[in-house]
Structure 1
């Protein structure tokens, strides 16, 4: 592993996926080192990031869920210029590419809903010139699929979605995921 994001995730395998202000306040009380911001808009994203930004943590903004910014590369520039975020999460490869160009960490999110989605991950991993720092697969409560994705992925895998207890965490990590992301606040304090 050759970047700070991987090291921080490996040493702190629970990622807080925050979806509202109440969750943001709760997250600030935890020892979580990586935070996925899953809400906000162009007017308040700077304040949302500043609310939980500390020197020793990594804040990632989910571009696809941010209201008021288009899915264009300029939106990534906005995050870099106007917030203290360390990186982005998205399902769009063009945004991953732009974020890498300007020095942001990147999480490429995949929804694994059928066998075709799994095939697409493999195809993109082989043929695509875009290389995120990590990929996140959802839902994260499918150990068999996590193992398959870990085998075909050239970058570490985060399992997210529907993870709600220690058994889910241990199953995902035991299947090869580097870490998990969850909006379940009880898991943030495990």
Structure 2
């Protein structure tokens, strides 16, 4: 498999899955090469990882929202043993642990005002995730540029994208890729 970073950036759109029953469509979709599991139950995760890996697609788990998994170093170690390709988190301590476990990690940054931009840059700059995801994805281009310049990391966008125009605009502003649960947006090709 290609490096996870390259896979995410190649297709520009990752499938965000909120319910385990939605996984099959993302696995079969020809435009989707990366799947983000936004919540779920740890008891079903090994089976899901096996199905996604059989399709030669990476699965990233939003650890903050996964039920039954410790939000600590042991939880990340378990996810790595299960075969999860990486994690998504808002928590700096989990970014640090993921780096120590050599697990791909996307740190989610909620941008709501000028102070949150400064805090996001300071925190992500300190813990050094593999990539960051800005929420909402509809932030102004200058904010994306500021974060990219400060962190020198790939920047993904998520949240509040409803149309193909929204996606194309987010990418034209400097986002490297986006994640979305809206299936009609999975069909966009670049």
CA contact (8 A) 2:135 2:157 kept: yes
Partner of residue 102, structure 1: 101
CA contact (8 A) 1:141 1:172 kept: yes
Q: Distance in 2 between matches of 1:42 and 1:21?
A: 11
Partner of residue 147, structure 1: 145
Unaligned 5+ segments in structure 2 are: none
Partner of residue 163, structure 1: 161
Tell me if 1:58 matches 2:58.
Answer: yes
Unaligned 5+ segments in structure 1 are: none
- Please, what TM-score do these two structures have when normalized by structure 2? 0.89
Q: Distance in 2 between matches of 1:22 and 1:45?
A: 12
Question: CA RMSD for the aligned pairs?
Answer: 1.7
Where do 1:56-135 residues align within 5 Å? 56-81=56-81, 83-126=82-125, 128=126, 130-135=127-132
Q: Distance in 2 between matches of 1:94 and 1:39?
A: 19
Partner of residue 40, structure 2: 40
1:57 alignment partner, SS class: coil
Alpha-carbon deviations, 1:2-48, whole Å to 9, x = none? x8122112211101111002321221221211110112122111122
Offset of 1:55 from its aligned partner? 5.8
Structure 1 segments, 4+ long, off by >4 Å, are none
Question: Residue 125 and residue 65 in structure 1: after superposition, are their counterparts in 2 closer, same or farther (change >3 A)?
Answer: closer
CA contact (8 A) 2:87 2:104 kept: yes
Partner of residue 20, structure 2: 21
Alpha-carbon deviations, 1:75-125, whole Å to 9, x = none? 1011011x2211111111121122122221110111112221111022224
Q: Distance in 1 between matches of 2:136 and 2:51?
A: 28
